[in-house]
Amino acid sequence: MIFGCVLPPQVEIGSGTKLWHSGLGIVLHPGTKIGRNCNIYNFVVIGGGHDGPGGPPVSITVGNHVNICAGARVLCSTRSLTIGSGATIAANAVVTEDVPENVVVGGVPGKIIKVKKTKKI
């Protein structure tokens, strides 16, 4: 435990990613990979099914530039779950399925509530 945060050494976190509020209450599953420049707020859980002895490994991938707001839950009940780059998970949302890029997901269970406009370069 570091600052009330469960952060196993197997978790991969990209550069520029911030665990806000000193990581207060954040719980990350060992099979989690978080991209670059993400924002993860207090009391977020990114977790999976049981991958104890004999169980299948669980993989949760969070893309780049993802915002996961306070109290959100990203729960994987299968072998893998992906949050697309540029997505936002609203406060207290419960996500149990893959999330495409550049959308806002909210509610219980989590549903797409907005598609973000992307900037053309």
Catalytic annotation, residues: 29
Q: Name the residue among 56, 53, 6, 55 with its Cα closest to residue 29.
A: 6
DSSP secondary structure code for residue 12 in this structure: E
DSSP secondary structure code for residue 26 in this structure: -
C-alpha 99/C-alpha 6 separation (Å) is 24
**CB-based contact 106:90 (threshold 8 Å):** yes
C-alpha 73/C-alpha 90 separation (Å) is 10
